[in-house]
Amino acid sequence: MTDTTPLMVLAVFLASAVRYSMPLLVGTLGETVTERSGHLNLGVEGMMLMGGAAGFVTAIRTDSLVLSLLAAMGGAIAGALFYAVLTVTFRANQVVTGLALTLFGAGVANTVGKGAVHASTPPHIQAFFAWQPLRPDLSAIESVPVLGPAAVFLRTVLLEYNIYVYMAVLLAVVLSLLLHRTRLGLHLRVVGENPASADASGIRVAATRYGAILVGGALCGLAGLYLPLVHNGTWVENITGGRGWIVVALVIFVRWSPLRAMLGALLFGALEIIGFKLQGFPQLAGNPLFSQYIIGMYPYIITVIVLVANSARKKGGWRGPGALGLPYFREER
């Protein structure tokens, strides 16, 4: 029997928001790494689709999760490499190249995925992602007043996820430490802030940027794989449905921070499903603020507000990687 106390309704809603935030979170982590190196890659949607198609097709062909994960990363890295060669080596305009990658990626993915349309995720992979490794058995204390419901609430909100969710959270923490507490992260940030000084102090700018773009691509591929393999259990054309663009907005929204990315993705994930919750309140029906169409705009509206607030900051505040979007010409130092 479904528990319909307000507390449990809230818990179930939060847990769904977490599940819906996963592709956004992992994509945002990837794009954050890329943008921290000074490269704006608008091709997230394309890379997510390429990774998703390659990974899902591999999963149904080989029945192997490991190969599927590798293929998802590989597919998206291929797209990222295309972008990296054009923008790092040939210094092409990053915006145009990113847009091209979006279109190209969608085309490639829809072609590759043609044979996999409506195929289902192999049963043992489904079972693997249905597994909730941290879920404790609370039957002993469930009936205790106050303590029981509180424990069930916490379990639903925190401990009933599959392994992908925990890995994504771990990844956010690791990336944050990597960026702020290691030499590698320092190098990456310097390259993104001021490639000329990085170059002068002996950091290999092009290599660092290649690395960041390819790692970013790999993560976008894993984000793209979540939708067909875990979340929907099947592939259809354009399965990402614009989530790549939400990711691009999210990176700005969380101001290039892997830790804030968790909260940002959770908020945007909740926005994706809150419309269906609100439809349960007839008194809200007809109020345009709560219509599904308007709710679909909220992520973008919020991002625009953050963008404006960000650029209106007083002098001295950090406004994102200093060299973001700019090609680096060594001879122009």
Give the nearer residue to another protein in terms of CB position, either 134 or 285: 285
What is the nearest approach in angstroms of another protein to the Cβ of residue 127?
A: 12
Distance between CA atoms of residues 112 and 240, nearest Å: 15
Which residue from 261, 241, 262 is spatially nearest to 252, judged by alpha carbons? 261
Distance between CA atoms of residues 80 and 259, nearest Å: 24
Give the nearer residue to another protein in terms of CB position, either 15 or 65: 15
What is the nearest approach in angstroms of another protein to the Cβ of residue 295?
A: 10
CB atoms within 10 A of CB 269: 24
- H helix or E strand, kind and range, residue 41: none
DSSP 306: H
Residues with Cβ < 8 Å from 58, sequence gap 6 or more? 64, 67, 68, 70, 71, 72
Give the nearer residue to another protein in terms of CB position, either 35 or 272: 272
Which positions lie near another protein, rule CB under 8 A?
1-2, 4, 9, 12-13, 16, 20, 92-93, 96, 114, 117-118, 120, 130, 227, 231-234, 236-237, 239, 241, 272-273, 276-277, 279-280, 282, 285-286, 292-293
Q: Are 51 and 72 in contact (CB under 8 A)?
A: yes
CA end-to-end span of the chain:
68
Q: Are 45 and 106 in contact (CB under 8 A)?
A: yes
What is the nearest approach in angstroms of another protein to the Cβ of residue 2?
A: 4
Give the nearer residue to another protein in terms of CB position, either 1 or 289: 1
Give the nearer residue to another protein in terms of CB position, either 2 or 139: 2
Distance between CA atoms of residues 255 and 231, nearest Å: 27
What is the nearest approach in angstroms of another protein to the Cβ of residue 13?
A: 8
Give the nearer residue to another protein in terms of CB position, either 6 or 202: 6
Cα angle, residue 29 at apex, residues 46 and 38 outer, rounded to 5°:
80
What is the nearest approach in angstroms of another protein to the Cβ of residue 223?
A: 13
What is the nearest approach in angstroms of another protein to the Cβ of residue 305?
A: 24
